[in-house]
A and B are shown apart, each in its own frame.
Chain A
């Protein structure tokens, strides 16, 4: 019972039930609909509903365990209610929000089994939470997105630099040198003034002053030239490191996406995954390429100039620092608003893009229903929104700049006034003052840039974090530690009491059991949504079962190396998908080294050969994105050829011939029946005549196996589901082939 305790919620403090505790689930709504805790407590003799009383918990309802019946959850919109029957009357015991529904669902199922005196164990904890902050974690996720420290992500980002350490070190060095060089000109200004142009004390000979002038100007020119050259080099290096680094992350991300379970994609919109790959890496790259260099250089500049200022005249330097807090505060407060607008601009861009994409990819539908003005309006509206926001953002920017330059100017004025007094009083030379003034002009720029850069870097770190989050989610379907290689599958398949739901509390398949012998052809029949494709998804191990087991050749599916399994399964999926590229490439997709003869043979089996030859470029006809330029039936035949060439031990045809005419279907069928000899085959079809070659049929209804048997057995079974389907089918299609 140890794990049951783990699943159970804690009993309300101070509540002592009668008998041995078996189940305790906490609900989060009170009968009047407001938030509050109530508990369903089940012991071996009693069922309680416990509420919080004034001082201690009180029992709101109580029933003897043996007298209740039909425990179930009524699923409501965004919540649910737990009900039982007692003395033939229905009682609503508790209410809860959607977050709690899965737990009460499990509780109801378990309770029902106990009432029937069946063996039932509570599952282990279903939702993992972050131990330190309680954030609900994705299954398999290792890192809590809500409380991982920022420094960790930063360190991780830096660890990507390791392969590029040499350019990175060069960059740091270059940044220092460039900063030093940019500090040089004002420093050279000082002797230019004091010794050449406006000499203090006894002037040197004119000749010497000419010579010095030449040297100093040459030095100024040299430092500027060298600075430009070095910044060109460092810009190039920076671009190199930034691009390589994002390339590394981007590739790793894409690779990782391909190994993630399909349920990862079920839960997310493809658009937002794509935007992670594109935008987040783009943002990261922009920062790594430009932002990080700016950050380093500006920090160095602030420190360097600050030191210079204090070394020249610490009293004036203190004056310079007076406006600094103002600049920082101003920049920071403006950054909040700027970020707000930038966020908005970004969001509006996304909206504009989606209108653009949707409108153009659906252009046939738009035209067919003559809705061009509506689509154009939608786009124009969004474009206008974007323009408005752009102007607002720009306005904030310009106000910020105006204010900042006013502050900075007033700072320099202070220096002019007090520095000028110093010169007049003879405390200070003109050269020192001009140098000082130049440094001050250079000083506020970096200070202001830094406050913006801090923000930029934190946003880029966020982008990095979002990427890491995807990288950190581990595939739910993974090779077991003790996975066995299975280079040759015979094809015996067994489903044992398989229960599965895409969301675990809503089962799609319920206790499905069947055995398929090697080489058998099985037809899966049932109405739309019965769970046929789901069976196939489980067999391919796109998802793992919730309960029960699938065995291939007697080995549990979870123990078979996934790569071995998938290499020996050929699937013609319900939604045909082709890649951009030539027809030949598409047919050879699962076997890139296939010879031309193999490709042609596969095309012939799939009855695709003839139409391919009708294309001017034959097998090298280039298909557009997602196989555009072919009819639906032609696409389907290419997909069949692809599965055939794969030469699988287990062949799966999910509505493989739904788009072709009866004549062509018949030809494909004959070809496939030659092909499937010795292979286990699953065929799904709504057109029941398609399945007449099947050895056995499995009839599904709402996730349960209704009946199995050969075609004839099922046909002659009175009141059988299959006989009913065939009857309906015949009535509709008037094609009597089904009866042979």
Chain B
């Protein structure tokens, strides 16, 4: 799983394509020179000396393992403009814009503390303290509904179609961890 996480300099595909016109090359954007602004609620981007991309959508390529790196800039119809490998060297305003926009697009609720879990047959009722406030939700059919995309990273999918994430089980308080482990 981790083979994708190499940096380009480390040559995960043998050698790093550098030619600008190689269509298969991963198109990295330089965070330092990228110009960003928000207009009409949408992000607009421009590389120096190029025309502006309107309505840019930011997409995390590895949302669980690297939420603030490997960010793709997509245009209308899912066309990719390029990839920001990380936000180093970005001006403060631009960085804030990127983080804000990511925050706006990713609404998965983050669980801070598990308060209770009640099981009735195949149905589990959870109460949790989240970054949005306290919530109760119901999951069903245990093994399908609690997924682990990475070791220590848990995602619950509830019956209504919402998802709740715990990015690091180890960082939970012992009581929450016990509740979780009892069900896994």
A interface residues, Cβ below 8 angstroms from B: 29, 33-36, 76-81, 83, 89-92, 95, 97-99, 101, 135-136, 145-146, 268-269, 272, 340, 347, 350, 462, 465-466, 469
Contacts and interface: CB of A to CB of B under 8 A. Distances in A.
A35 B107 contact: no
B107 A78 contact: yes
Contacts of A95: 107
Contacts of B79: none
Contact of B121 (A76, A80, A465): A465
B145 to A, nearest CB: 10
A347 B134 CA distance: 30
B133 A35 contact: yes
Contacts of A98: 107, 160-163
A76 B104 contact: yes
Contacts of B133: 34-36
Contacts of A350: 143
A272 B144 CA distance: 8
A135 B107 contact: no
Interface of B: 40-42, 63, 103-109, 120-123, 130-135, 138, 140-141, 143-144, 158-163, 182, 184
Contacts of B42: 90
Closest 3 CB pairs of A and B: A79-B107, A99-B160, A35-B133
Which residue among B121, B133, B143, B144 has the maximum number of chain A CB atoms within 10 Å of its CB? B121
A462 B84 CA distance: 50
Nearest to B105: A76
A91 B41 CA distance: 8
Contacts of B138: 135, 146
A347 B184 contact: yes
B182 A340 contact: yes
A90 B184 contact: no
Contacts of B141: 268, 272
Given A77-B108, A145-B122, A272-B144, A136 B160 contact: yes
Contact of A76 (B106, B143, B160): B106
B123 A145 contact: yes
Contacts of A77: 63, 105-108
A465 B122 contact: yes
Nearest to B123: A146
A727 B158 CA distance: 48
18 contacts: A33-B132, A76-B106, A77-B108, A78-B107, A83-B41, A90-B41, A98-B160, A98-B162, A99-B160, A135-B123, A145-B122, A145-B123, A146-B120, A146-B123, A268-B141, A347-B143, A465-B122, A466-B121
A320 to B, nearest CB: 36
B147 to A, nearest CB: 11
Q: Looking at chain A's contact residues, is the secondary structure mostly helix, strand, loop, or mixed?
A: mixed
B161 to A, nearest CB: 5
A78 B162 contact: yes
Contacts of A80: 107
A78 B138 CA distance: 16
Given A91-B41, A465-B122, A466-B121, 12 more contacts: A33-B107, A34-B133, A35-B130, A77-B63, A83-B41, A97-B162, A135-B123, A135-B138, A136-B160, A145-B123, A146-B138, A268-B141
Given A135-B138, A146-B138, A347-B184, A78 B143 contact: no
Contacts of B143: 272, 347, 350
Contact of A269 (B123, B144, B159, B160): B144
A89 B121 contact: no
Given A90-B41, A99-B161, A145-B140, A34 B132 contact: yes
Contacts of A272: 141, 143-144
Contacts of A269: 144
B132 to A, nearest CB: 5
B160 A145 contact: no
Given A34-B133, A35-B135, A469-B122, A89 B40 contact: yes
Nearest to B42: A90
B163 to A, nearest CB: 5
Contact of B162 (A76, A83, A99, A462): A99
Contacts of B184: 347
A146 B184 CA distance: 21
A145 B121 contact: yes
Nearest to A469: B122
A125 B132 CA distance: 28
Contacts of B109: 78, 97
B122 A462 contact: yes
A462 B121 CA distance: 5
A83 B104 CA distance: 14
A357 B13 CA distance: 30
A25 to B, nearest CB: 15
Contacts of A268: 141, 144
B121 A78 contact: no
Nearest to A88: B40
Nearest to B160: A99
A259 to B, nearest CB: 21
Contacts of B120: 146
A78 B140 contact: no
Contacts of A99: 158, 160-162
A316 B137 CA distance: 53
Nearest to A340: B182
Nearest to A339: B182
A92 B100 CA distance: 15
Contacts of B134: 35
A366 to B, nearest CB: 16
